[in-house]
Amino acid sequence: MSAPTTALGLRMPKRGAARLCVRALLHALVVLVFVVPLWGLVATVFSGVQLKLGELALLPRHASLTSLRTAWDLGVGRGLLTSVVVAGVGLFLQVTVSAFAAYALARKRFRGQALVMLAVLATMMMPEEVIAIPLYLVLGKVPDPLGGGDLLDSYSGLILPVVGWALPIYVLTGFMKTIPLELEEAARVDGAGDLKIFFRIVLPLCRPALGTCAVFGFLMIWDQYLLPLLVVQSPHMRTLTLVVTSLAASSDQPEGVRMAACLVLMVPSVLVYLLLQRLFERGLLTGSLKG
Amino acid sequence: MAAVTRASTRTGRAGRSTAEAGRETASGTARGSGSRTRAGGPGGHRSARRPWRPAALRRAAGPWLFLAPVLAFFGVFKFWPTVWGMYLSFFEVRPYLGNRWVGLRNFTTAFHDPMLRRAVEHTLLDAVVTILASAAVGFALALLLEGPARHVRLLRTAAFLPVVTAMVAVVELWNTLMFPGHYGALNTLLGHLGIGPQQFLADPDSSLASVMGIQVWKSAPYDMVVFVAGLAGIDRRLYEAAAIDGAGAWTRLRHVTLPALRPVTTIVLTLGLIRGIRVFTEIYVLTGGGPAGSTETIVTYTYKSGIQNNNLGMAAAVSTLLFLATVVLTCLTLWWRNRREAA
């Protein structure tokens, strides 16, 4: 009863009032450091008062949507559309392709399997930051499957490089190995082929893991900055991250407009996190604890 | 050094296997569909002419069919650039004129560039400091916000928001908070504490520290969640036993909690280091490597010399070295983890 149940034993009633005070203070500090800055951003966006460069509002006085509307017209709307298209198509391809690969890795025995696992591991050491220069040159050589020139300054160039990602392959392979074989064997006896088993049995059972992959994949694609920086040349192709930085670079915009662009960039990923928190935390732990 | 060469030949082989996979699956599709139509046809005579049976072939090709899409994407957007980057590091890259072989000159030029040396120093300093600081802050947060109570869970969720916010938005927000004028948000707060206005990102002496602060703000809550999970895995009875033996909070932390968290901690630290040496977005957006090169890192250096100054060969050389460093670090991590698991 009086035994500590956490590392610091904060639930011990010993010297109750003093401990409670210290803890409340520390919690307030956490809120001040991690939440108040984000709140300041929101308040600034909806504040009707013109703020100088570097000024943030703590309370939105004379609430108005002017900043948001101005930012929207300055390219944020267009950027949001581009980012949503890129994230949607990219995520769909990423999860599909990873699920196919995971099925082969989890359920088949074949020559070269270890080599494939090694190749997947190797790609984790080749992030955009490390291969930026040659990737830029490669993008200039690969033809756009949607027609018209190479991958530079095209939607395909923004989407295709993010499709292959090791994390969902690992997550899905691990999950598929935990699915009991009996169902598949029964289907195989009934004459179902690999594709049918994959779509009808394995994929529906993988729904939780697919959700985790979707959350992580979305955040990964949404956060892309270097890849759009390499690909995009004309202003109308800018993703939201590029719109935000280019708006911020023009210092003649008031603080509210710049923060409005940040807010539009923030909201989708924060919503995904808040709505799918359980999926998210499970993935975080498989990702970080199991490698 | 042996590890480097082995790892690079491995990736080379892996790259080739991708190409093979592509070829094999392409032929596999053709044969597979062909055999299917034949089997469907009336009196489809099981081909005695063929040395292989369609069923066996299809079984062999099956896994590669499933793997083909991913291997194609990896091949084009990961392995090709990596291998080509290594190749280019020995050339002077001249668009439209053809590349000229220069041997190791790109590497020697890079090594003799004092700017690159500073960039490496900044990168390592930034990686080590931010990883240790965010692990420490994350651990403190985990201790404070551990447990299933409702308001604590709420606080954990709130504190986690910086992690899921896109880096670009975080960076712009902090760029505003760290406005160097005396009415900037952070300077106002410091003013209340009796500290004069700081220059933060605008001053070469404080710019790198400011960047580190922002990075810790974004990554500490991530470490917190990992540590909270680690703490939840500790058997409660150990705390009770220690408390009965008269151990205070500090002793319990030192002798029960920290040893139990060691595996989680090492993983947090090593993964952080591998991620940390390729820091780009926050630096490039916040300072562009300035003021006066005080925040230049390896990747901002390669980006600038490659894309902006069109010195692609040298940029490729530096990227190759960065890749090799990543490979060595990853192999060390894996080797070390396997040794632990075997022990």
CA distance B39 to B139: 63
Residues of B in contact with A281 (CB under 8 A): 225
Residues of B in contact with A244 (CB under 8 A): 168-169, 172
Across the A:B interface, residue pairs with CB atoms under 8 Å apart total: 298
Determine the pLDDT at residue B35: 39
Query: What is the arithmetic mean of pLDDT over A193-219?
Result: 89
Helix (H, G, I), strand (E, B) or coil at B110: helix
CA distance B266 to B274: 12
Q: Which residues 58-77 on chain B approach chain A with CB closer than 8 angstroms?
A: 60, 62-64, 66-67, 69-71, 73-74, 76-77
Residue of chain A minimizing CA distance to B276: A129
- Residue B161 in contact with partner chain A when CB distance is under 8 A: yes
Model confidence band, residue B12 (pLDDT cutoffs 50, 70, 90) = very low
Model confidence band, residue B14 (pLDDT cutoffs 50, 70, 90) = very low
Determine the pLDDT at residue B121: 93
Closest by CA position to B234, among listed B206, B211, B255 = B255
Residues A29-52 pLDDT 10s: 999 999 999 998 998 888 877 777
Determine the pLDDT at residue A225: 93
Residue B182: is its pLDDT beyond 90? Answer: no
Q: Which amino acid is at B170?
A: V
Model confidence band, residue A88 (pLDDT cutoffs 50, 70, 90) = very high
Which has more pLDDT, A95 or A71? A95
- Residue B139 in contact with partner chain A when CB distance is under 8 A: no
- How distant is the Cα of A212 from the closest Cα of chain B, in angstroms? 14
Write the DSSP symbol of residue A144: P
Closest by CA position to A285, among listed B265, B225, B338 = B225
Determine the pLDDT at residue A5: 61
Output the CA–CA distances (angstroms, integers) from residue B204 to A251, B172, B200, B208, B294, in the order listed: 21, 19, 9, 8, 5
Query: What is the arithmetic mean of pLDDT over A206-226?
Result: 91
Query: What is the arithmetic mean of pLDDT over A172-190?
Result: 87
- How distant is the Cα of B276 from the closest Cα of chain A, in angstroms? 11
Determine the pLDDT at residue A6: 67
Read out DSSP for B47-104? -SSSSS-HHHHHHHHHHHHHHHHHHHHHIIIIIHHHHHHHHHTTEE--TTT--EE-TT
Residue of chain A minimizing CA distance to B167: A223
Q: Which helix (H) or strand (E) holds B138?
A: helix B114-145
**A273 is written with which tokens?**
């996190």
Write the DSSP symbol of residue B196: P
Determine the pLDDT at residue B54: 72
Model confidence band, residue B221 (pLDDT cutoffs 50, 70, 90) = very high
CB-nearest partner of A119 from B18, B176, B184: B18
Output the CA–CA distances (angstroms, integers) from residue A28 to A145, B56, B152, B227, B287, in the order listed: 53, 66, 12, 21, 31
Query: What is the arithmetic mean of pLDDT over A5-33?
Result: 76
Residues of B in contact with A274 (CB under 8 A): 157
Determine the pLDDT at residue A9: 58
Instruction: Pick the range with the lowest mean pLDDT from A154-168, A267-281, B51-65, B146-160.
Output: B51-65
Write the DSSP symbol of residue B198: P
Question: By percentage, how much of chain A surpasses pLDDT 90?
Answer: 39
Residue A104: is its pLDDT beyond 90? Answer: yes
- Could you tell me which residues come within 8 angstroms of residue A178 by beta carbon, excluding any fewer than 6 positions away? none
**Strand B100-101 versus strand B91-92 pairing type:** antiparallel
Instruction: Pick the range with the lowest mean pLDDT from A80-89, B51-60, B204-213.
Output: B51-60
Residue B101: is its pLDDT beyond 70? Answer: yes
Determine the pLDDT at residue A4: 53
Check: CB of residue B74 under 8 Å from CB of residue B293.
no
- Residue B188 in contact with partner chain A when CB distance is under 8 A: no
Residues of A in contact with B297 (CB under 8 A): none
Check: CB of residue B182 under 8 Å from CB of residue B197.
yes
The pair phi, psi for residue A143, each rounded to 5°, is -70, 145
Write the DSSP symbol of residue B309: S
Closest by CA position to A194, among listed B36, B71, B328 = B36
Helix (H, G, I), strand (E, B) or coil at A191: coil
Model confidence band, residue A82 (pLDDT cutoffs 50, 70, 90) = very high
Which of A63-77, A227-241, B197-211 reaches the highest mean pLDDT?
A: A227-241
Determine the pLDDT at residue A15: 60
Residue B29: is its pLDDT beyond 60? Answer: no
Residue A89: is its pLDDT beyond 50? Answer: yes
Q: ipTM of this predicted complex? A: 0.87
Query: What is the arithmetic mean of pLDDT over B277-300?
Result: 89
Read out DSSP for A227-272? HHHHH--SGGG--HHHHHHHHHH-TTS-HHHHHHHHHHHHHHHHHH
Burial B187-220 (b: 16+ CB within 10 A, else e): bbeeeeeeeebbbbbbeeebbbbbbbbbbbbbbb
